[in-house]
């Protein structure tokens, strides 16, 4: 495992302890093995969980200079840690660059540029650790692919923030106004959830923290909720698959497509909709009530209405120009 930055007193800086705690929490409920024994897919899935946890920690910080510096150090720490783990995995699995040389020369050049950019940022973050980011110019293709994907996700987040900052009166504002007027007489208000592709699962995660769980042994972080949803889609395949138009027929290609669909639900930031929400309600054995501005409210898992307080979320079609969005509903 990578080591964090040292403080002037010789021990790890406070941001390292916070990052390590966030990483530990992200991996709760997952079987962990030494990095050299992981499959590449398993390592990359774990890295996504851990990076998302650290990014969420960074998002909670303010805009003062010390907090901005802390954010840079945290992102430098997770980048360096995951880089070292990837190199250790590659060293232990020589020739095991799974997936082959799928990238074009242009993609390889772009990835090299990203690698240099991340290396520079990590060096700034760990300036008093000589050589902390050394060697990153020789990144593997697997690392470059991940860096490219992370850059695309950061670009998407930046576009969302820019849109929110610059938008004037819009469909989004009209929709929010109607939704708030519908919720106000019920004593409810909207709780904003991060728009990162996981918003539906994060909304349910937030609801479980607010309204309580019925089974204390069930992990309720958004990563675990994705896994539960995918497991339910697989277990009750033909309860859900007929409603996924691309996979409704029984054929080899549709079977393969459905399997990939379920894997994407579990392992990526694929957006969740009504199909996934219904499966999640069944997996949790909780009713989930969905509010929206221009449609009647919809209850998923009505048969579980007596098993715990209903979970309340809202669907916003025009939340962002880049896509639809779910938020959580709290008591005003």
Pairing of strands 311-320, 323-331: antiparallel
pLDDT at 103: 42
Is the pLDDT at 160 greater than 80? The verdict is no
Check 47, 198, 222, 325 and give the catalytic one: 325
pLDDT at 292: 93
Higher pLDDT, 313 or 250: 313
Query: Could you confirm whether 101 is annotated as catalytic?
Result: no
Check 97, 112, 196, 231 and give the catalytic one: 196
Is the pLDDT at 122 greater than 60? The verdict is no
Please tell me the pTM assigned to this model: 0.52
* pLDDT average, residue stretch 155-175: 69
CA 203/CA 207 separation, integer angstroms: 6
* pLDDT average, residue stretch 193-208: 93
Q: With bands split at pLDDT 50, 70 and 90, how would you rate the model's confidence at 245?
A: confident
Share of the chain above pLDDT 70, in %: 77
Q: With bands split at pLDDT 50, 70 and 90, how would you rate the model's confidence at 39?
A: confident
Higher pLDDT, 265 or 214: 265
Which residue(s) pair with 12 in the sheet? 6
For the chain, the structural domain boundaries read 14-164, 169-331
Burial of 218 (0-12, 13-18, 19+ CB in 10 A): middle
Q: With bands split at pLDDT 50, 70 and 90, how would you rate the model's confidence at 108?
A: very low
Check 19, 199, 262, 314 and give the catalytic one: 199
Query: Could you confirm whether 196 is annotated as catalytic?
Result: yes
* pLDDT average, residue stretch 211-220: 88
Q: Which two tokens stand for residue 243?
A: 């409603």
pLDDT at 257: 94
* pLDDT average, residue stretch 187-211: 93
Is the pLDDT at 97 greater than 80? The verdict is no
Query: Could you confirm whether 199 is annotated as catalytic?
Result: yes
* pLDDT average, residue stretch 63-77: 85
- 3-state SS record for 174-190: HHHHHHHHHHHHHCEEE
pLDDT at 252: 93
User: Which of 89-98, 122-131, 163-172, 218-227 bottoms out in mean pLDDT, i.e. has the lowest?
Assistant: 122-131
* pLDDT average, residue stretch 103-107: 47
Is the pLDDT at 175 greater than 80? The verdict is yes
pLDDT at 221: 93
What's the residue count for the chain?
332
CATH class of the 169-331 domain in this structure: alpha beta
pLDDT at 123: 42
Is the pLDDT at 16 greater than 60? The verdict is yes
C-alpha of 87 from chain center: 24
User: Which of 35-49, 54-68, 270-284, 311-325 bottoms out in mean pLDDT, i.e. has the lowest?
Assistant: 311-325
pLDDT at 128: 41
């Amino acid at each position: 495992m990578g080591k964090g930055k040292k403080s002037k007193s010789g021990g790890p800086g406070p941001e390292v302890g916070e990052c390590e705690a966030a990483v530990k929490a992200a991996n709760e409920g997952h079987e962990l093995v030494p990095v050299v024994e992981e499959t590449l897919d398993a390592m990359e899935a774990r890295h996504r969980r851990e990076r998302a946890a650290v990014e969420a920690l960074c998002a909670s910080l303010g805009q003062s200079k010390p907090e901005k510096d802390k954010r840079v150090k945290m992102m430098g720490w997770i980048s360096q840690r995951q880089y070292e783990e990837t190199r250790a995995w590659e060293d232990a699995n020589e020739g095991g660059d799974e997936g082959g040389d799928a990238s074009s020369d242009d993609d390889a050049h772009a990835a090299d540029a990203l690698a240099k950019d991340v290396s520079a940022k990590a060096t700034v973050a760990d300036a008093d650790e000589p050589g902390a980011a050394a060697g990153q110019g020789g990144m593997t293709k697997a690392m470059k692919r991940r860096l490219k994907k992370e850059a695309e996700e950061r670009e998407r987040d930046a576009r969302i923030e820019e849109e929110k900052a610059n938008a004037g009166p819009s469909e989004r504002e009209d929709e929010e106004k109607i939704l708030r007027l519908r919720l106000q007489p019920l004593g409810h208000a909207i709780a904003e959830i991060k728009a990162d592709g996981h918003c539906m699962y994060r909304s349910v995660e937030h609801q479980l923290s607010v309204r309580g769980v019925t089974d204390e042994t069930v992990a309720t972080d958004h990563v675990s909720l994705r896994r539960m949803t995918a497991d339910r889609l697989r277990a009750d395949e033909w309860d859900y698959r007929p409603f996924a138009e691309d996979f409704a027929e029984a054929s080899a290609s549709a079977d393969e497509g459905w399997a990939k669909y379920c894997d994407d639900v579990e392992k990526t930031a694929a957006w969740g909709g009504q199909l996934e929400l219904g499966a999640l309600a069944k997996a949790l054995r909780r009713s989930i009530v969905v509010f929206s501005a221009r449609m009647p409210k919809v209850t998923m898992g009505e048969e579980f209405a007596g098993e715990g307080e209903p979970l309340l979320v809202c669907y916003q079609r025009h939340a962002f120009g880049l896509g639809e969005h779910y938020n959580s509903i709290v008591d005003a």
